[in-house]
Amino acid sequence: MENFSNGDEVQVVLEDKAIHGKYVENPDRNFVSIKLDSGYNIGIEKKKVRSMKLIKKFHAVLQKKEAVKEEKGKKKIVILHTGGTISSAVDYATGAVTPHFTPEELVAMFPEIKSIANISSRLIGNMASDDMRFAHYNLMAREIEKEVKNGADGIIITHGTDTLHYTSAALEFMLENLPIPVVLVGSQRSSDRGSSDAAMNLISACLFIAKTDFAGVSICMHKGIDDTMALVIPGTNARKMHSSRRDAFKAVNADAIAEVDCHSGSVNMIHGSYKKAEKRALKVLPFKENLKIGIAVSHPNMFASEILAFEDYDGLVLEGTGLGHFPISEIDEYTKEHKKIFSAIEKIARKMPVVMALQTIYGRVDMNVYSPGRKMQDAGVLGNFSPMTPETAFVKLAWLLSNHPKDVKKLFMENLRGEIVKRVGVQEF
C-alpha cells in the first residue's frame, strides 16, 4: 500500500464495495481513516482493504489573513481558549482538526465578531473538558485577573461542553467582586458539520458582552435546536442536560439571564436583578489543588462499602433520590445492609462535611418530609432545602474547604453567588 498524505483524494476498494474520500492519518496502524463527502470520518481495518489508489494529490493553499485593527468606541473582548470543539477549525480538505487562536484566524473563522467588538485571543490550555482539575480552574482565574487589570471589558472562555457547568460554577465562586462579564462558550457539534453551533454561540456571547452592563460568570449556548436564539445562563445554576443536542444547557431552578438573537443582534434581558459592570477590586479565591471531594450516588442494592470508600477524602456529596433519600432503613431481612449504610454515612460525617444534592436536578432538597431524612440531618448531613445541582454542590463544597474550612457548615446554605435561589419556579425539564 503506497504512502498517502492528509487530504489526498483516494479510492479504497473492499471486497463488496469501493469507498471514495479524503485520506486522514490514523495513529492506529491497523486502520485507514477516510473523510467522506458528508463530512464524517470512517475507519476501515487494513486487513479488509484489497487495494487503495490515489485519485488526486492534495496541495495546501495558504490563505492571507486580514490584520485585526482596534476601533474606537467598541468594547474590548478577550477570548481565552482552553480547548474543545469551538476553539478548533476543521480543515475541510484534510479532515484534520487544527487549533486557531490568533485574532486574525478568529476573524477569518467568524467574521461577524469583527463588527461587534475589538477582539484579542490567546491559548491558555488545550484539553478535553473531562481532563479539567482544580489546578486548571486556578489557572483560568489568574488569566482572567490579568485581563481585568489590562482593561478588558469582557472575557469569553472557550471550553469543552462536558464539564463546562462545573467550570462556570468554579469561576463564579473564585472571582469575588468580578467587575466585568466572563462568558463560557462551547460547541456541541464539530465545525465540519452543517449543524455546528460554534459560530452562533461565540457571536451571541460577543453580542451579550457588547450590548449589556452585566457582570459575573455565565454560559452562552443555543436556546433551541434551531439557529434562532442563544441563552445566557447563570454560572452556578446551569447543567448539561443532553449528550449531543445544541440546546443541551439549561438554567436549573433559576431564570436565564438573557436571550440573544445573533441574526438581528438584539439582546433581551430576562433576569431583572444582576450585578452590573463597574470598577471594583477583583479578588481571586483559588481552590486547594490537592483536595479530594467525592460524590456517592444513591441506588437500589447499595452497600456501605460504597460510602466508606471516601473515608480518606476531605468532603462528600451525597446524590440522593427524590427529596434527598438514601437506603438507610432496615425494614426486613433483605435490608440489613441499610443499617450499615447509615452507620457509614454517620461515620464519614464525623470526619468531614457531607452534603446532600438531588438526582432529580430540578427541585429542592427536603429532608424534613420523611423520617429517614430527619435521621440523615441528625447524622450531620448538610444541605436541607438546597436547590443546587450536584455539580454546583460539589464545586461549592470544594471552594469552601479551600477558603473557609472552619465555616463550611455555616456557609454551605448561604447564598454566596446566586446558587441558593429563593423560589424554585416551573421550568422546562
Query: Same domain, yes or no, for 219 and 118?
Result: yes
Structural domain count of the chain: 3
65, 102, 162, 261: the active-site residue: 162
We report the CATH number of the domain holding residue 349 as 3.40.50.40
On whether residue 309 sits in a domain, the answer given is yes
Query: Same domain, yes or no, for 347 and 261?
Result: no
417 neighbors 235 (Cβ within 8 angstroms) = yes
Active site residue 47: no
Cell digits of residue 97: 482538526
Strands 230-234 and 41-45, bridge-based pairing: unpaired
On whether residue 403 sits in a domain, the answer given is yes
Q: Which domain holds residue 357?
A: 293-411
106 neighbors 113 (Cβ within 8 angstroms) = yes
Lowest mean pLDDT among 168-182, 206-220, 278-292, 415-429: 415-429
Strand ranges for 171-297 from DSSP E: 175-176, 181-185, 216-222, 230-234, 238-240, 249-251, 258-261, 266-269, 283-284, 293-297
We report the CATH number of the domain holding residue 120 as 3.40.50.1170
Query: Same domain, yes or no, for 90 and 201?
Result: yes
How do residues 89-148 score in pLDDT, each as one tens digit?
A: 555 444 555 555 555 666 677 788 889 999 998 888 877 788 999 999 999 999 999 999
94, 158, 161, 212: the active-site residue: 161
Q: How far apart are CA 152 and CA 139, in angstroms?
A: 18
Q: How far apart are CA 277 and CA 270, in angstroms?
A: 17
Average pLDDT (299-319) is 98
Active site residue 85: yes
Q: What is the DSSP letter of 65?
A: P
Cell digits of residue 1: 500500500
Q: How far apart are CA 194 and CA 158, in angstroms?
A: 20
Q: How far apart are CA 58 and CA 94, in angstroms?
A: 8
Active site residue 240: yes
How do residues 189-220 score in pLDDT, each as one tens digit?
A: 555 444 567 788 999 999 999 999 999 999 99
8, 75, 82, 85: the active-site residue: 85
On whether residue 393 sits in a domain, the answer given is yes
On whether residue 371 sits in a domain, the answer given is yes
Query: Same domain, yes or no, for 348 and 261?
Result: no
The contacts of residue 32 (CB under 8 Å, 6+ apart) are: 12, 23, 26, 43, 44, 45, 46, 49, 52
pLDDT for residue 59: 80
We report the CATH number of the domain holding residue 33 as 2.30.30.520
On whether residue 364 sits in a domain, the answer given is yes
35, 240, 250, 396: the active-site residue: 240
Where would I find the H helices in 175-292?
Answer: 198-211
